[in-house]
A and B are shown apart, each in its own frame.
Chain A
Amino acid sequence: NAGVTQTPKFQVLKTGQSMTLQCAQDMNHNSMYWYRQDPGMGLRLIYYSASEGTTDKGEVPNGYNVSRLNKREFSLRLESAAPSQTSVYFCASSGRQGFNTEAFFGQGTRLTVV
């Protein structure tokens, strides 16, 4: 059982380049999330999708876009990467209904913008 799968695991971008982080879950979860993790900051929510067809901004959405392609897949796009977006990105999914349940995480993507 794969759980939550993110690709790629590592990426180096030049300032101004674009890229899409892919995420898929096979647990039939309704909700999916993108977080970023920076040293000393914990995990901060970028965007989330409470259900297929909906997306909402989290705490730090600037510079990102998302697409909930179907129930399984939730992608994160950086249109014009900046050094401030150097971070570890986590995709997660949860639950049958609502947010009051544990989230399951992918293995993360370490992104460096130079």
Chain B
Amino acid sequence: AQTVTQSQPEMSVQEAETVTLSCTYDTSENNYYLFWYKQPPSRQMILVIRQEAYKQQNATENRFSVNFQKAAKSFSLKISDSQLGDTAMYFCALSGNTPLVFGKGTRLSVIA
């Protein structure tokens, strides 16, 4: 079975600072994808970034980047220049031969 663990239930960061959210996972598959989703207070699930397991290069989307350590089964999200609009729940998710499995989430608060 695939599992995803987010060990930080809550985090906070000052506006304009950098924050890193942790995620570890377990899978026996070789071909899988990893995702970070953002859920603001509006409840909408928004894809932030994705990483294909076969790619060694870490994915980057503007202020968002990941540190993908395949051997350690670790997939952390770094948010640079944090903005008030980044305040949200963040979910790490894993897919492969089965539908997306989610972690329990990290609530991020950006403080002015």
| Contact (Cβ within 8 A) B95 A99 | yes
> B47 contacts the other chain (Cβ, under 8 Å)?
yes
A10 → B minimal CB distance (Å): 11
The answer to whether A102 touches B102, judged by C-beta atoms less than 8 angstroms apart, is no
Q: How many A-B residue pairs have CB under 8 A?
A: 59
Q: Which residue of A lies closest to B29 (CB)?
A: A100
Q: Is the interface of A mostly helix, strand, loop or mixed?
A: strand
With A42-B103, A42-B105 as given contacts, are A90 and B45 in contact (CB-CB < 8 Å)? yes
Interface status of A88 (Cβ within 8 A of chain B): yes
Tell me the nearest residue of chain B to A45, going by C-beta. B99
Stretch touching chain A among B30-38, B64-72, B77-85: B30-38
Number of interface residues of B (CB under 8 A): 25
Among all A-B residue pairs, the 6 with the closest Cβ atoms: A105-B45, A42-B104, A42-B102, A43-B102, A108-B43, A99-B95
Chain B hits for A40, CB < 8 A: 9, 104
- Quick check: is A74 within 8 A (CB to CB) of the other chain? no
Residue among B32, B43, B99 making CB contact with A31, cutoff 8 Å: B99
Q: List the B side residues contacting A43 at CB < 8 Å.
A: 91, 100, 102
Chain A, residues 79-106, CB within 8 Å of chain B (1/0): the string is 0000000001010101000111111110
B44: Cβ under 8 A from any A Cβ = yes
Residues of A in contact (CB 8 Å), total 26
Which of B6, B32, B43 counts the most chain A CB atoms within 10 A? B43
| Chain A residue with the shortest CB-CB distance to B49 | A102
- Looking at the complex, which one of A41, A94, A105 makes contact with B104 (CB distance below 8 Å)? A41
B97 touches A105 (CB 8 A): no
Contacts of B103 in A (CB 8 A): 42
Instruction: State the Cβ distance, B93 to closest chain A Cβ, in Å.
Output: 8
A107 CB–B CB distance under 8 Å? yes
